[in-house]
Structure 1
Amino acid sequence: MPLNNCTPVILDDKGTLIYQDKDAHAITSAPICLKNIALKLFPEYPSQYVLDLGTGCGIIAISLAMERPSWKIEGLDILPHMIELATHNAELCSLNIKFQLANLCTFTTETPYSLIISNPPWQPLGTGKISPHPAKNISRFELMCSMPEILSFLERNLTSEGNALLLYPDFRIPELQTLIYKTSLDIFDLIPCPGIDKHFICHIRYKGTKK
């Protein structure tokens, strides 16, 4: 794919290279934080069927695949050019990752995931400054999906013993706690996100699931 509107990103001290779209939300420490927490929480799992929800350029999926080669990892995004970029990035890293173009509000997998990871849009509509670049707005504002729709996605697509890791700022946590009470899901833990002030990784499971 053409990379004239992309900038390179070094993933590790080995110089592993991927690209990000200049007109999309810039890569921050959030995806690496999510990846590190996933590896810490599930070190003993020899295999996982994992979805990077809202994959963007594929950084979470790719970073996980490099650390856990036995995991089957997929990515999902609503923007065609981001799916194309994520696929290109995985090929650069010699990784076999399936990236799917889909709307999470209607998507249902044939085989449920054991782990879903996401840094979802967190700014409610009507707040913050709108960017001239649509991709930035979609990743930042709840334009294409809301918090209830994220939770509905988890209910449809997690295995009965599955886990989800969602990154939200602290001011959205009370709303998440209220909404999740009405679902079959529960917040198993709230994990402070190292290096990102006032953000938590919400570890979500089905109600009654044992640790």
Structure 2
Amino acid sequence: MRFKQLKNGYRYNSDSMILLDFASKQKPKMEVLDVGCGCGIVGIGLKKKYPNINLDLLDIQECNITLCEENLKLNSINAKIFLCDFKDFDTEKKYDFIVSNPPFYRYGAQKGENTHQNISKFADNLKLEDFIARANSLLKPRGKLCFCYESLAIEEIACLLKKYKIKLTALQFIHTRKDQKARLLMILAQKSSKNFCEILEPFIVYEDNVFSQQMLQVYNEFKVESDDL
């Protein structure tokens, strides 16, 4: 896969690739929505692996929509693109699978001067409850919600999923290094599910200051090249 992305903006990174890997293992079907799609790497990656899905991409920033249009052409992918704030996204369509790397940096965290990065990273641009509530309204019965979030929010995530009657079905902790606390969560939740929550093997990004075998396997499966704009 090949992607254009902004040289001085929010860029896809190892978190994006881990989310793509996690989401692809859920074998999404039919109607799929990538929320806060950025340059489109997660949604386009899923469409490459599962060409039969119908892909929609949504982002609040016009520059990201332009990037997505370019990247869809580069990768010969067809998808619908929506320029919209997710909490205001109004459609009669219902989705089987919603995937997202939403903004999750907390209030009070130090913001930089780069507006594109700030909108992509900070939770005040899409509050967690607004994200889960809108996803719930857009999911079909038995539809799945797949997203990543900071590990410190695990209690809030569990409470909000329960509030909106979406069952937490899989959880994976992401560690920068094996001797460090988890910094990120991969979350899978499903409407009307009776399954217990499965705690997956932890994902370690670095070993001895180089990418771990887990991380290398992800990059080897989803071979990505990028061009800066």
Q: TM over 0.5: same fold?
A: yes
Contact 1:119 1:166 in 2 (8 A): yes
Contact 1:51 1:113 in 2 (8 A): yes
Q: Does 1:108 align with 2:75?
A: no
> Residue 162 of structure 1: SS of its match in structure 2?
strand
- Residue number in structure 2 paired with 1:117: 99
- Residue number in structure 1 paired with 2:126: 145
After superposition, the CA RMSD in angstroms is 1.8
The alpha-carbon deviation at position 61 of structure 1 amounts to: 1.2
- Residue number in structure 1 paired with 2:190: 205
1:36-185 matches, cutoff 5 A: 36-42=21-27, 47-127=29-109, 129-185=110-166
Listed one character per residue, the Cα deviations across residues 103-147 of structure 1 (whole Å, up to 9, x for unaligned) are 1111132211100001111112212x2121111001110132100
- Residue number in structure 1 paired with 2:17: 32
Listed one character per residue, the Cα deviations across residues 163-188 of structure 1 (whole Å, up to 9, x for unaligned) are 01110121111121222232222212
Listed one character per residue, the Cα deviations across residues 50-96 of structure 1 (whole Å, up to 9, x for unaligned) are 11100011111111111111111111000111101111111111111
- Residue number in structure 2 paired with 1:18: 3
> Residue 143 of structure 1: SS of its match in structure 2?
helix
Distance 2:30 2:173 in 1: 24
Distance 2:9 2:154 in 1: 25
Contact 1:87 1:97 in 2 (8 A): no
- The structure showing larger relative contact order (alpha-carbon pairs under 8 Å, at least 6 residues apart) is 2
| Superposition TM-score, scaled by structure 2 size | 0.77
Listed one character per residue, the Cα deviations across residues 174-204 of structure 1 (whole Å, up to 9, x for unaligned) are 1212222322222122123476853211111
| Superposition TM-score, scaled by structure 1 size | 0.84
The alpha-carbon deviation at position 210 of structure 1 amounts to: 4.3
Contact 1:75 1:97 in 2 (8 A): yes
Contact 2:167 2:193 in 1 (8 A): no
Contact 1:137 1:143 in 2 (8 A): no
Distance 1:182 1:64 in 2: 29
Contact 1:108 1:157 in 2 (8 A): no
- Residue number in structure 2 paired with 1:12: none
Distance 2:2 2:153 in 1: 33
Structure 1 114/194 Cα, relative in aligned 2: closer, same or farther at 3 Å? farther
- The structure where helix makes up a greater share of residues is 2
The alpha-carbon deviation at position 18 of structure 1 amounts to: 1.1
> Residue 146 of structure 2: SS of its match in structure 1?
strand
Q: Which runs of 5+ in 2 are unaligned?
A: 196-229
Distance 2:46 2:79 in 1: 11
